[in-house]
């Protein structure tokens, strides 16, 4: 119950602030250009609280899933008097600046917030920025079927030369059941391969997986109570380097091996504070994240080995810009592939999924995980609002560009029909995404989204 409450509070706080930032961009720009603002609202529907100052009513509404700035004469159905304070009385370039100001505020805020985070606490997984040298290949996986082997180095994937594991992961995730052109280096040989990542039956996000893995240290994360690992004395932060004397290049190596040895006791070698420790552990058959699936387990979650430090302001800003550029491209690729039916709607998270992520980030140590998530949500809000869908800012911009090309305003009747269709589309999309969130929480619903 406490976790649900934390998730709700974190979600409402983050989303509310992101909407505030977005709408303030529209509001401040409109005011600056002399457009009269009638309402500045967070949320939709019935008014909960608010006040009026000057010509503007400031209010918080009942449904906290968005917000709006209502400007005089903005809606096609509004009566127009020719008042210079009306939105449509202003030149198109004014209206363009007002429309783009909201998304721009979100994008700039994402860059600024991530810059602050990096100057205080720069933390990232060690393996992500390493060259894509393959540690292990899962049997019968797409990578194994085309002959990729442990020790191969991916020197090209699609249009990226000498990729890092982070770049490989992005391409792999966004290409479920789609061919990827890959070049691997094996000794002095350069081999061309076509890999088709598959969606895992155990995954509810429908991302692609090729079945190759990086050299990634096995670090003990959350320990499950009354499970073999805890009983044996293993602690959070221990680095497991071997099982039965054999090195562990990746957590999947341990998981696969345990399914072979079943409940036979295993010896784990771990590093803790510079000391080498050995533990005798007997696996048990236990539930996984999917309550319908049981596996032999010892009871801990693995977490990536992290680099922690601080970046000078200039480097932090540069890194923030690079990361936000990469993430923006990832969002646009995801939308493009969704339209092309190359990825599933399950790759998107709605309000419930975001709330879960916010709750988890809020419970992690320190403020940086929550601030990092806030930056990501702000970027998503900015980019998605630029999509050319009427009602969204990108749709307003598109109509302005069309009007500029044809040299006249589109008729109010046509605009009304366009907005009505767009509104129905957005409502249906929201319903599907929320259903998607529920399906991820309830595994028995997941097959309906296959």
The residues carrying an active-site annotation are 23
- As a whole number of angstroms, the distance between CA 345 and CA 227 comes to 36
The upper half-sphere exposure of residue 408, i.e. CA atoms within 13 Å in the direction of its Cβ, equals: 3
The answer to whether the beta carbons of residues 422 and 395 sit under 8 Å apart is: yes
The answer to whether the beta carbons of residues 190 and 224 sit under 8 Å apart is: no
The answer to whether the beta carbons of residues 233 and 218 sit under 8 Å apart is: no
The answer to whether the beta carbons of residues 89 and 82 sit under 8 Å apart is: yes
In SS3 terms, the chain reads as CHHHHHHHHHHHHHHHHHHHHHHHHHHHHHHHCCCCEEEEEEEEEEEEEEEEECCEEEEEEEEEEEEEEEECCCCCCCCCCCCCCCHHHCCHHHHHHHHHHHHHHHHHHHHHHHHHHHHHCEEEEHHHHCECEEEEECCCCHHHHCCCCCCCEEEEECCEECCEHHHHHHHHHCCCCCCEEEEEEECCEEEEEEECCEECCCCCCCCEECCEEECCCEEEEEECCCCHHHHHCCCCCCEEEEECCEECCCHHHHHHHHHHHCCCCEEEEEEECCEEEEEEECCEEEECCCCCCEEEECCEEEECCEEEECCCHHHHHHHHHHHHHHHHHHHHHHHHHHHCCCCCHHHCCCHHHHHHHHHHHHHCCCCHHHHHHHHHHHHHHHHHHCCCCCCCHHHHHHHHHHHHHHCCCCCHHHHHHHHHHHHHHHHHHHHHHHHHHHHHHCHHHHHHHC
- As a whole number of angstroms, the distance between CA 450 and CA 447 comes to 5
């Amino acid at each position: 119950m406490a976790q649900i409450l934390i998730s709700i509070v974190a979600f409402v706080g983050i989303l509310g602030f992101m909407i505030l930032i977005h709408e303030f961009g529209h509001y401040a720009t409109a005011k600056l250009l002399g457009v009269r603002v009638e309402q500045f609202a967070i949320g939709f529907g019935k008014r909960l609280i608010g006040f009026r100052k000057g010509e503007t009513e400031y209010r918080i509404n009942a449904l906290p899933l968005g917000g709006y700035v209502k400007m005089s004469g903005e809606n096609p159905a509004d009566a127009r008097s020719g008042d210079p304070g009306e939105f449509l009385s202003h030149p198109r370039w004014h209206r363009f600046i007002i429309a783009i100001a909201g998304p721009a505020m979100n994008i700039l805020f994402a860059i600024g917030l991530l810059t602050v985070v990096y100057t205080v606490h720069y933390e990232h997984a060690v393996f992500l920025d390493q060259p894509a040298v393959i540690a292990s290949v899962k049997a019968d996986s797409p990578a194994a079927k085309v002959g990729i082997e442990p020790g191969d180095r991916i020197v090209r994937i699609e249009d990226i030369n000498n990729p890092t594991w982070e770049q490989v992961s992005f391409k792999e995730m966004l290409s479920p059941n789609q061919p990827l052109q890959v070049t691997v280096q094996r000794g002095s040989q350069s081999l061309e391969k076509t890999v088709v990542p598959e969606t895992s039956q155990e995954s509810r996000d429908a991302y692609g997986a090729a079945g190759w893995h990086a050299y990634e240290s096995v670090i003990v994360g959350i320990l499950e109570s009354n499970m073999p690992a805890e009983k044996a004395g293993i602690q959070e932060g221990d680095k497991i380097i071997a099982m039965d004397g054999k090195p562990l290049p990746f957590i999947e190596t341990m998981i696969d091996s345990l399914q072979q040895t079943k409940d036979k006791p295993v010896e784990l070698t771990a590093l803790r504070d510079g000391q080498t420790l050995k533990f005798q552990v007997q696996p048990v058959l236990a539930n996984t994240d999917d309550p319908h699936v049981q596996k032999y387990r010892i009871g801990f979650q693995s977490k990536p080995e992290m680099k922690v430090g601080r970046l000078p302001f200039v480097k932090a800003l540069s890194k923030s810009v690079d990361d936000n550029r990469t993430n923006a491209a990832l969002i646009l690729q995801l939308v493009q592939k969704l339209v092309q039916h190359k990825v599933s709607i399950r790759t998107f998270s709605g309000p419930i999924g975001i709330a879960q992520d916010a709750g988890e980030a809020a419970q992690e140590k320190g403020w940086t995980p929550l601030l990092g998530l806030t930056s990501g949500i702000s970027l998503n809000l900015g980019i998605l609002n630029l999509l050319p869908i009427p009602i969204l800012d990108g749709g307003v911009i598109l109509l302005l560009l069309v009007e500029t090309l044809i040299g006249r305003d589109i008729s109010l009747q046509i605009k009304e029909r366009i907005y009505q269709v767009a509104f129905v589309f957005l409502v249906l999309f929201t319903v599907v995404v929320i259903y998607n969130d529920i399906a991820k929480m309830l595994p028995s619903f997941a097959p309906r989204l296959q």
